[in-house]
Amino acid sequence: MSLTGDICVVTGAGGFLGRRMVKLLLEEEKVAEIRLLDKHVQPQLLESLEGCRGNTKLSVFEGDIRDSNDVRKACRGASVVFHIASIIDIYDALEYKEIYDVNVKGTQVLLEACIQENVMSFIYTSTIEVMGPNPKGEPIINGNEDTIYNSALKFSYSKTKKEAEERTLKAHGEMLQNGGRLATCVLRPMYIFGEGCRFLIGHMCDGIRNKDVLFRMSQREACVNPVYVGNVATGHLQAARSLKDPQKRNVIGGKFYFISDDTPHVSYSDFNHVLMSPLGFTIQDKLLLPLNLFYVFCFFLEILCMILRPIKRIVPPLNRQLLTMLNTSFTFSYEKAKKDLGYTPRYSWMEARKRTIEWLAAELPKERERIRAK
């Protein structure tokens, strides 16, 4: 089922995944219009898309996801919404209210706008972090949508994404103003890498400051399965196609799916090294401290920051929950997405790796110069 002639809204269109989603829609589908909804869309983004735009209209809607008027304008006359925008905060650097307002209330505002403006399909970008890992660091190996796990979420980010996900699934089947029904679907990608990934740039910069030696923050055996950004966008497109198909609509509507690909299962730290070793980076053999001592160090660091908070808000560079995430085996299969959505990774691991390394190689001189200038 094609999206030919559809009007698509992409929230967070100026971000890492949002940009890739817009580009994929232009390359794969003859949609009538793509509406880029974000607080700010760089003119360079539109310029970069000009070559593959064809007859598709690109419209920029700069506004706040929490503002119902902004959101309704973007949704008016649209047929499908890809809700990608969110605040990502793995350090708990922001106040809970700020994250909640965007991730939960913003999603609710968008769902209500879809009902008021008769949008038929809604795809929500969730995260693997709604599953965990939990504070005990209990592993999951090759999990699936039926895996039972006591998540006991600690991060504000994962909590708010989980609630937004629940609201999205609950909204499936809601009656639209024109008498139709809203169909919703949730996708849970693994850690997303690829061109434009700010986390990869951050790790590379840390390595530059450390004389081209990457920090080891994960034990080798703590395997995860990152997913390439192009494959995540492909999963979103397949979900939209399936929701448009009358026969599949009720099969996948109101359900969530894990999105991964064939990226090798390695630790987060070793994954960084796989991508950056061709650029001349090495990696530390061991963790900076034995893992138990590392937890104790993080505990006291968190206590110190809490004591200082009334005077000054200081965000520790590492906390116990993040350390748990970095050192817990947590891998998931995409078999159900393959079966129900018809999803298969568009990019092989070799192609994804090549593209990401080429991008990092282009960014490396700029980052060296920026760090040198400080």
Residue 50: what pLDDT? 76
Residue 95: what pLDDT? 85
Residue 347: what pLDDT? 97
Number of domains the chain is built from: 1
Q: How far is CA 89 from CA 86, 277, 308, in A?
A: 10, 27, 21
Residue 58: what pLDDT? 92
Task: Report the Cα–Cα distance between both ends of the chain, in Å, rounded.
Answer: 52
Residue 12, sorted as left (phi over 0), alpha (psi -120 to 50) or beta, turns out to be left
pLDDT tens per residue, range 211-247: 999 999 999 999 999 999 999 999 999 999 999 999 8
Tell me, yes or no, if 157 is annotated catalytic: yes
> In the sheet that 57-62 helps form, which strands lie side by side, from edge to edge?
57-62, 33-38, 7-11, 80-83, 121-125, 183-189, 255-259
Residue carrying the six token digits 């698509």: 8
Residue 260: what pLDDT? 98
Helices (H) and strands (E) in the chain, counts: 14, 13
- On whether the CB atoms of residues 117 and 76 are closer than 8 A, the answer is yes
Residue 358 included in any domain: no
Residue 219 included in any domain: no
Q: Is the pTM of this model over 0.75?
A: yes
Residue 153: what pLDDT? 87
Residue carrying the six token digits 């310029």: 47
Query: Looking at the chain, how many residues does it have?
Result: 374
pLDDT tens per residue, range 104-113: 999 999 999 9
Residue 302 included in any domain: no
Residue 92: pLDDT band (50, 70, 90) is: confident
Residue 280 included in any domain: no
pLDDT tens per residue, range 119-137: 999 999 999 999 999 999 9
Q: By residue range, what is the domain housing residue 118? A: 7-196+226-264+331-349
Catalytic residue among 100, 157, 228, 268: 157
pLDDT tens per residue, range 304-347: 888 887 888 788 888 899 999 999 999 999 999 999 999 999 99
Residue 124: what pLDDT? 98
Residue 176: pLDDT band (50, 70, 90) is: very high
pLDDT average, residue stretch 174-190: 95
Decide if pLDDT at 25 tops 90: yes
- DSSP class of residue 13 equals T
Query: Beta strand 7-11 with 282-283: parallel, antiparallel or unpaired?
Result: unpaired
Decide if pLDDT at 52 tops 80: no
DSSP secondary structure of 140-205:
EEEE-TT--------SHHHHHHHHHHHHHHHTTTPBPTTS-B-EEEEEEE-SEESTT-HHHHHHHH
Residue 167 included in any domain: yes
- Element of type H or E holding 220: none
Give me the chain's average pLDDT, please.
94
Give the domain CATH number at 11.
3.40.50.720
Residue 282 included in any domain: no
